[in-house]
């Protein structure tokens, strides 16, 4: 794996320090330390006196996954305006670097259940996001799945034979695509590590896949990543929409299954293009099995 120094070195130090000096002031002493995690970015904690920031630098080949760093920057700005994202301090497009203010709080964990007041805070954050400023771009899970499938095949990744058959049928929930008037700003990657809880509100980070899309994909994506039980899915809808209608619950579960398939294809694509030693194939297989085990409509 890439060592923490290498991404900073690719700035030739001058660009990095010029950025930090311009934004934070030339005379401020800056301390940079790596943050763990992140499969599409190198992340660093930047301390300047009492101020703390996060610097994210894109890893190699992430544009092949459909990640547009200019769009990510615009989406992060929109999320901050909606009150659900971190304040954006600076963006350096040539180096694909984004500097945001550090959010104090507890990063959610897969091991901690998403329930009670915590579930309410997450649902409230999503409601605010979906009612917030428009974002550039459009996210369509079926289109993303097909693009990742082609990417994986193009890089020689061995795929489950039934996966290609499924995609060839062309029936990836076509009814799930909302009409343009119903699209809302969405995050589309609600992993536990992208949610930070300060005990009062939940904030969302990492806007790489954000765009205008279907709010129910966010709800299903959240439910899948956090392995919500049926009662929790209903509670999520009650908090988010004020009620849990059968049709809404069915739509959430359809999107939850679609989210598993998207996650599996992301893993297969990463297995072909990423230079990291992370076991992307195991990740992909895990989500592929979740897709297969989920009840179909």
CATH number (domain holding residue 51): 3.30.200.20
Phi, psi (deg, nearest 5) at residue 139: -105, 125
Pairwise CA distance, residues 228 & 233, whole Å: 6
Interval 187-202: pLDDT, tens: 999 999 999 999 999 9
Mean of pLDDT over the chain? 86
DSSP tag of 157: -
Q: pLDDT confidence of 7, banded at 50, 70, 90?
A: very low
DSSP tag of 117: H
Report the predicted TM-score, pTM, of the whole model to 2 decimal places. Answer: 0.88
58-72 burial code (b ≥16 CB/10 A, e <16): bbebbebbbbbbebb
Domain count, the chain: 2
2 has a pLDDT exceeding 50 = no
pLDDT of residue 12: 41
CATH classification of the domain holding 214 = 3.90.1200.10
Q: pLDDT confidence of 15, banded at 50, 70, 90?
A: low
54 has a pLDDT exceeding 70 = yes
Which domain, by its residues, includes 96?
5-101
20 has a pLDDT exceeding 60 = yes
290 has a pLDDT exceeding 90 = yes
Percent helix, strand and coil across the chain, each rounded to 5?
50, 15, 35
Interval 76-134: pLDDT, tens: 999 999 999 999 998 888 778 899 999 999 999 887 788 789 999 999 999 999 999 99
Out of 71, 101, 131, a domain closes at 101
Contact partners, residue 224, CB within 8 Å, separation at least 6: 256, 257, 259, 260, 263, 290
Paired residues of 211 in beta bridges: 186
């Amino acid at each position: 794996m890439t060592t923490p120094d290498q991404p900073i070195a690719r700035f030739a130090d001058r660009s990095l320090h010029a950025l930090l000096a311009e934004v934070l002031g030339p005379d401020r002493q800056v301390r940079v330390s790596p943050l763990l995690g992140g499969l599409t970015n190198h992340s660093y904690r930047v301390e300047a006196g009492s101020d703390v920031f996060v610097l994210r630098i894109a890893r190699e080949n992430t544009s092949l996954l459909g990640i547009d760093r200019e769009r990510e920057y615009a989406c992060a700005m929109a999320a901050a305006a909606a009150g659900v994202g971190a304040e954006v301090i600076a963006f350096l497009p040539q180096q694909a670097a984004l500097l945001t203010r550090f959010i104090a709080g507890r990063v959610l964990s897969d091991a901690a259940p998403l329930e009670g007041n915590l579930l309410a805070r997450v649902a409230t954050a999503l409601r605010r996001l979906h009612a917030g400023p428009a974002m550039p771009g459009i996210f369509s899970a079926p289109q993303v799945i097909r693009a990742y499938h082609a990417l994986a095949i193009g890089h020689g990744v061995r795929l489950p034979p039934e996966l290609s058959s499924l995609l060839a049928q062309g029936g990836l929930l076509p009814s799930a695509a909302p009409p343009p008037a119903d699209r809302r700003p969405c995050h589309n990657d609600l992993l536990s590590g992208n949610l930070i809880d300060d005990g009062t509100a939940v904030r969302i980070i990492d806007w790489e896949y954000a765009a205008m899309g279907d709010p129910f994909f966010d709800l299903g994506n959240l439910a899948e990543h956090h392995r919500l039980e049926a009662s929790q899915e209903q509670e999520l809808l009650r908090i988010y929409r004020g009620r849990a209608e059968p049709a809404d619950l069915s739509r959430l579960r359809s999107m939850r299954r679609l989210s598993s398939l998207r996650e599996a294809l992301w893993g297969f694509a990463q297995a072909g293009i990423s230079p990291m030693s992370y076991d992307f194939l195991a990740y992909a297989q895990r989500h592929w099995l979740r897709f297969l085990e989920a009840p179909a409509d």
